[in-house]
Structure 1
Amino acid sequence: MPPINPREQQQVLARLGERFRRLRLVRNISQEALAENSGVGLSTLKRFESGRGCNLAALVQLLAALGHLGELESFFAQLAERGEGTILADGDTRRRASSPRKYNSS
């Protein structure tokens, strides 16, 4: 799969941030309260909600504080069930990607 272009990446981050903001507001939680309850910095939360992203650890903490960490875990479990995320399934999994094979054309 080709890498995502910067414009698409920004659009995805903006949608995720907006959806997360709506989730927080439905729960009637201020940014300040969520930052404190999650252990994530207020500036990190504001940056995420404004579409500039955050690291995975911060996202996990934020989702846990809202009681929605299970949805993230379910997402990866669904990928594993469909065979798209076998690395995420239990049991033997690949530890490294194979390098492309070089064919001798002679």
Structure 2
Amino acid sequence: MLCRLGKQVRHLRLAHNISQKDLASGSGVGLSTLKRLENGQGCNLAALVQLLVALNCDDKVDVLFAQLAEDVAGSRAAIRSRASSPRKAVDP
């Protein structure tokens, strides 16, 4: 999921013909944060929004979050292998 997000940001940056250094300074996001994001290591939500605004792609946030939600739902379903034990009631 994070790799896919990073690839999308990299694709958008290159489509706008902007270097990592220029995007980082223009968005207010640290260069190391941008590099980590593009390498699939993620970043915080505020940094992601700042980058999308700097790339004039903030209108795509809805689609991006819908895709991420689908990825998270799919990955959680695949990871879980069994149900947890029922909780015991506490006597008052």
TM range, smaller chain? 0.5 to 0.7
- Which residue is 1:58 aligned to? 47
The RMSD of aligned alpha carbons is: 2.0
State the structure with bigger RCO (CA 8 A, min sep 6), 1 or 2. 2
The offset of 1:74, in angstroms, is 5.7
Q: Matched residues in 2 for 1:48 and 1:25: separation?
A: 14
Amino acid corresponding to residue 28 of structure 1 in structure 2: N
Residues 1:15 and 1:70: Cα distance change in structure 2 (over 3 Å): same
Amino acid corresponding to residue 48 of structure 1 in structure 2: L
Q: Matched residues in 1 for 2:44 and 2:65: separation?
A: 17
Q: How many residue pairs align between the two structures? A: 68
- Which residue is 2:61 aligned to? 72
1:38 aligns with 2:23: no
- Which residue is 1:24 aligned to? 13
The offset of 1:23, in angstroms, is 1.1
Q: Matched residues in 1 for 2:27 and 2:56: separation?
A: 11
Q: Which moved more, 1:30-39 or 1:16-25?
A: 16-25
Identity of aligned residues (%): 62
Amino acid corresponding to residue 29 of structure 1 in structure 2: I
- Name structure 2 gaps, 5 residues minimum: 67-87
Q: Normalising by the residue count of structure 2, what TM-score does the alignment of the two structures yield? A: 0.67
- The secondary structure found in structure 2 opposite 1:52 is coil
Q: Normalising by the residue count of structure 1, what TM-score does the alignment of the two structures yield? A: 0.58
Q: Matched residues in 2 for 1:75 and 1:18: separation?
A: 12
Flag the structure with higher helix content: 2
- Which residue is 1:8 aligned to? none
